[in-house]
A = this chain, B = another copy of it.
C-alpha cells in the first residue's frame, strides 16, 4: 500500500466584518462572519511543508476587509461571489473556493438614523462554491424558531416492541428551522423565502414534522422563482404536556415542559426534477 493525500482544503474562518454606509444622518449596516476555504494543487505543502503555492489565511482575511471597502456588501451572496472569484482567478493553485457567510440582522431604533438594535430572530446564511467551470450560490437561514400551539397530530406509526409513545391528535409542534436553498441564478429573494417558510409552517395542518418540512420546501420552490432545491434540518423541539393528576389538576393542553435532549431530528431535501444535481454546491 501507499499512503496518499485525499481531499483537502484550507482557509480563514470567521472573519467578522462590519460595514457602515454613511449617507448623511441615515446610515446602513451590514454585519458578516465570513469563512473562506480553498482547494486545489496543495499536495506539496502537505508532503514537505513547501508553502510556495499557499496564499496565507492572513491574506484571505485582509482580502475580506479590503473587498468590503472596495466593493461594498450588496448582499452576503454577492460579497461571497466576489471573494470566491477573486481567489480562483488570482491564485494559480486554487481550483475551488468556497465562501460561507453568516449575516446578523440589525434594525433601526425607531426615530433615529444611525442607531441600531440586533433583530436576533434568525441568522441569514450564504455560501458560494466557485471553480473555473461552475459557480453555485446557496442562500439560507438558521435558528428560526417557530411553534404551532395546535394543528398538529401524530398517530398511525409503527408499534414495535420498544414503542410506548401514545398517539395524539393534538400536540405542540415546535422546531428551529435551518434551511438552505440553491439558486439557478442568484436573485436576492431572502425576504420572500422567509415569509413563505413562516406561512407554510403556520398553515399546514401537520400529521408529522416530515410533512410540514416537505410542504415548506414545496411551497418555496413553487412560489419563489429560480430555486433548484432546498435542504432542511429541523429538530423536533419536544413540548411534553405535564401530567398534573398527582396534584388533582387537569391539564387541558395548557401547561407544557419544554425539553432539551434528546430531540427528534428531521432532515430532507426538496427539489425540482428538471434540474441537474450539484453536490459540489454543498461542500461544508
Since A4-B271, A18-B257, A68-B255 are in contact, a sample of 12 more A-B pairs with Cβ atoms closer than 8 Å, ordered by chain A residue number, is: A3-B221, A10-B266, A46-B268, A58-B165, A60-B162, A66-B247, A90-B160, A109-B202, A115-B198, A117-B121, A118-B144, A260-B260
B244-A46 in contact (CB<8A): no
Task: Name A residues whose Cβ lies closer than 8 Å to a Cβ of B.
Answer: 1-22, 27, 29, 31, 35, 37, 42, 45-63, 65-66, 68-70, 90-91, 106, 109-112, 114-122, 143-151, 154-158, 160-165, 172, 198-199, 201-203, 206-208, 210-211, 213-214, 217-218, 221-222, 229, 235-236, 239, 242, 244, 246-247, 249-275
B264-A161 in contact (CB<8A): no
Number of copies: 4
- Inter-chain CA distance A59–B156, complex, in Å, is 14
- Which residue on chain B has the smallest CB distance to residue A269? B6
- Which residue on chain B has the smallest CB distance to residue A272? B1
CB distance from A122 to the nearest CB of B (A): 7
A210-B150 in contact (CB<8A): no
Give the chain B neighbours of A253 by CB distance below 8 A.
20, 22
- Which residue on chain B has the smallest CB distance to residue A57? B264
CB distance from A257 to the nearest CB of B (A): 6
A17-B148 in contact (CB<8A): no
B262-A261 in contact (CB<8A): no
CB distance from A45 to the nearest CB of B (A): 5
CB distance from A211 to the nearest CB of B (A): 4
- Inter-chain CA distance A222–B7, complex, in Å, is 19
